[in-house]
């Protein structure tokens, strides 16, 4: 890759051999060949056109949650839309139209920041989503959800960048959302902005409900350790955490990776785990639960880079 060509496309941050452990919630991962923080959708579209035209692998990063980067790192370009405050991707705007609070959120806005914004301006409907560890772009792509609510319930439209580097807007009726996935994911779209619509509410009540849900998360989830959130998707008719616990795997360790003792649906970086430790434990959990219950658990996280062990799905 010609770095001079890249510098012509963006005035943002460009780094070589950037350790991905600094940018993922698992706190593991080797270096990316190139790490770029573009300043806006136009620069991102230009980068995508260049990378696609030249067959250079790339990956779009938000908060670094819901992913596992190999110890060898990523041989390609990481385009980070969530790490540089002040870019177009981390800006929030809003307006009230009638009883609706309409928020214009850059893809790099964290779910927590949107939740805080909603409390401040009295928008209800985001309380259960605010604690999801990620950014709005990735949350829209995968239709993230918690406590019986999903992104599809609050998204009115999104601005996307196509694989051809075209910027366009899609309305809610043009997007097919499903459990932990969407047509946005299928098309390989990059989210640059999202329009979130909430209902007018009492800020005190919204804060109370937000705090209640945050308390439940703290009580039931291992938030004190690095993780990628829920490791596995919920199998139809089952709960992944219960299947793992019933298989006797709660607290099981491989190297520094552990099945959480607080919630078996989480694999955590308990003690200086490597990506290989985590991948090995994921596969061990899959094999053990399959033998015990006949259910093959599907990982909710994405794997980036090369791993010695194969993970089903």
pTM given for the model: 0.89
Q: What is the mean pLDDT of residues 164-173?
A: 95
The pLDDT, as a whole number, for residue 235 is 95
Query: Among the ranges 74-83, 91-100, 104-113, 167-176, which has the highest mean pLDDT value?
Result: 167-176
The pLDDT tens digits for 202-221 are 999 999 999 999 999 999 99
pLDDT at 126 over 70: yes
Q: Could you give the angle at the alpha carbon of 53 between the alpha carbons of 51 and 55, nearest 5°?
A: 65
Between CA 79 and CA 32 the distance in angstroms is: 10
- Strands 190-200 and 253-254, sheet pairing: unpaired
The pLDDT, as a whole number, for residue 86 is 59
Between CA 58 and CA 150 the distance in angstroms is: 27
Between CA 264 and CA 251 the distance in angstroms is: 8
* DSSP state letters, 30-74: -EEEEEEE-SSHHHHHHHHHHHHHTT--EEEESSS-SEEE-TT-E
The pLDDT, as a whole number, for residue 133 is 87
State the catalytic residues.
Answer: 180, 230, 300
Domains along the chain with CATH numbers: 3-80 (3.30.43.10), 91-220 (3.30.465.10), 240-304 (3.90.78.10)
The pLDDT, as a whole number, for residue 313 is 82
Specify the range with the lowest mean pLDDT, choosing from 73-77, 117-121, 124-128, 303-307. Answer: 117-121
The pLDDT tens digits for 83-97 are 656 567 877 788 889
Q: What is the mean pLDDT of residues 70-87?
A: 86
The pLDDT, as a whole number, for residue 91 is 78
The pLDDT, as a whole number, for residue 90 is 79
**pLDDT confidence bin for 54, thresholds 50/70/90:** very high
């Amino acid at each position: 890759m010609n770095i001079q060509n890249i510098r012509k496309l963006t005035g943002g941050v460009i780094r070589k051999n950037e350790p991905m452990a600094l940018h993922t919630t698992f706190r593991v991962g080797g270096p990316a060949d190139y790490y770029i923080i573009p300043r806006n959708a136009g620069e991102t579209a230009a980068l995508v056109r260049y990378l696609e035209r030249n067959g250079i692998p790339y990956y779009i990063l938000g908060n670094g949650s819901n992913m596992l980067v190999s110890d060898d790192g990523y041989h390609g370009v990481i385009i980070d839309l969530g790490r540089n405050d002040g870019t177009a991707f981390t800006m929030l705007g809003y307006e009230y139209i009638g009883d609706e609070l309409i928020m214009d959120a850059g893809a790099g806005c964290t779910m927590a920041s949107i939740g805080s914004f909603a409390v401040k301006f009295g928008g209800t409907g985001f309380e259960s989503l605010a604690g999801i560890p990620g950014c709005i772009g990735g949350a829209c792509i995968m239709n993230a959800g918690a406590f019986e609510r999903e992104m599809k319930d609050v998204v009115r439209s999104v601005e996307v960048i196509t694989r051809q580097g075209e910027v366009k807007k899609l309305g809610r009726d043009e997007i097919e959302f499903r459990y932990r996935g969407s047509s946005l994911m299928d098309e390989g779209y990059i989210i640059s902005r999202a329009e979130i619509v909430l209902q007018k509410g009492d800020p005190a009540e919204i804060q109370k409900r937000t705090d209640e849900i945050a308390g439940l998360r703290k009580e039931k989830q291992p938030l004190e350790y690095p993780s990628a959130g829920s490791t596995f998707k919920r199998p139809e008719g089952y709960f992944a955490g219960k299947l793992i616990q019933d298989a006797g795997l709660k607290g099981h360790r491989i190297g520094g990776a552990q099945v959480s003792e607080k919630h078996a649906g989480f694999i955590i970086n308990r003690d200086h785990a490597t990506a290989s430790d985590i991948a090995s434990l994921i596969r061990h959990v899959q094999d053990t639960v399959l033998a015990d219950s006949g259910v093959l658990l599907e990982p909710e996280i994405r794997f980036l880079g090369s791993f010695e062990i194969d993970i089903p799905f």
